[in-house]
């Protein structure tokens, strides 16, 4: 049990217990795989990882898998291979996974991905009470090759952002310009409705209508350029829109 400490990996959050167990098995067989990498392979979600998800992830990494629904008689087999993953329900409500490291007449040796528990010996009676009977066995196939992945660090993410700083700056500036255009449009319309229309200021209304038309054109152009190419409306549609805006400006004054 002490010898397995070098393979122990804790879960990052309560949803990672299954993939943490799989990561320990992979480490036992010479790989060093990040939990984020296994989350994607096993389709881990907010409810955790299914046994099927663990099996498919292991198969993607060229591990032979066997899944059984069994009982405590499993530990009576002399050729039982360790480690394997056991699905349990802790405290009668929490679905969880243990990595089973070995067993004797009285105890089951487990590695609990919950770091507050870690590697420990559990009485067989307690293990039997928690265990659902699901056992997942893994061993390398002839095509298995040890792999090594790294966790995506904050520094690595920042470096990627720096390399695309030009694009990011463009997106920020265009977003600010579009926001400013929308604010000015609202302000101009409020001025027209509250002050200019009641006083019949025709010249001022004409100038503001032209300004609004130009603002709408630029705003629409920015929206158009920000859309994916397959989703962009045709030039015919845009000509209709501009025509409607022109007619609106004429009616305004």
Please give the Cα distance from 82 to 100 (Å, whole number).
7
Pick the catalytic residue from 17, 21, 210, 235. Answer: 17
The rounded radius of gyration (Å) of the Cα atoms in the chain is 32
Place of tokens 């989350």: 39
Could you give the 3-state DSSP secondary structure of residue 140?
A: strand
Distance of CA 42 to the CA centre of its chain: 12
Is 21 annotated in the active site?
Answer: no
Write down the H helix ranges in 65-201.
Answer: 124-130, 154-163, 165-191, 197-199
Please give the Cα distance from 88 to 126 (Å, whole number).
11
Q: Which residues are catalytic?
A: 17
């Amino acid at each position: 049990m002490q010898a397995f400490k070098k393979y122990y990996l804790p879960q990052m959050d309560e949803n990672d217990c299954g993939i943490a167990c799989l990561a320990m098995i992979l480490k036992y067989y010479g790989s060093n795989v990040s939990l984020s990498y296994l989350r994607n392979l096993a389709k881990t979600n907010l409810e955790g990882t299914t046994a099927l998800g663990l099996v498919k992830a292991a198969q993607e990494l060229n591990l032979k898998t066997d899944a059984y629904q069994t009982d405590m008689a499993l530990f009576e087999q002399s050729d039982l291979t360790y480690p394997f993953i056991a699905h349990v329900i802790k405290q009668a409500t929490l679905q969880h996974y243990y990595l089973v490291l070995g067993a004797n007449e009285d105890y089951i040796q487990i590695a609990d991905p919950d770091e507050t528990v870690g590697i420990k010996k559990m009485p067989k009676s307690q293990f039997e009470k928690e265990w659902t009977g699901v056992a997942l066995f893994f061993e390398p196939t002839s095509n298995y090759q040890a792999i090594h992945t790294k966790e995506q660090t904050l520094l690595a993410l920042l470096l990627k952002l720096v390399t695309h700083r030009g694009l990011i700056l463009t997106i920020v500036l265009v977003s600010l310009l579009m926001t400013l255009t929308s604010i000015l449009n609202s302000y101009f319309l409020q001025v027209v409705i509250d002050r200019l229309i009641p006083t019949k200021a025709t010249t001022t209304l004409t100038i503001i209508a032209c300004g609004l038309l130009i603002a709408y054109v630029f705003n629409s152009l920015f929206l158009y350029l920000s859309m994916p190419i397959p989703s962009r409306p045709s030039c015919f549609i845009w000509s209709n829109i501009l025509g409607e805006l022109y007619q609106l400006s004429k009616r305004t004054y």
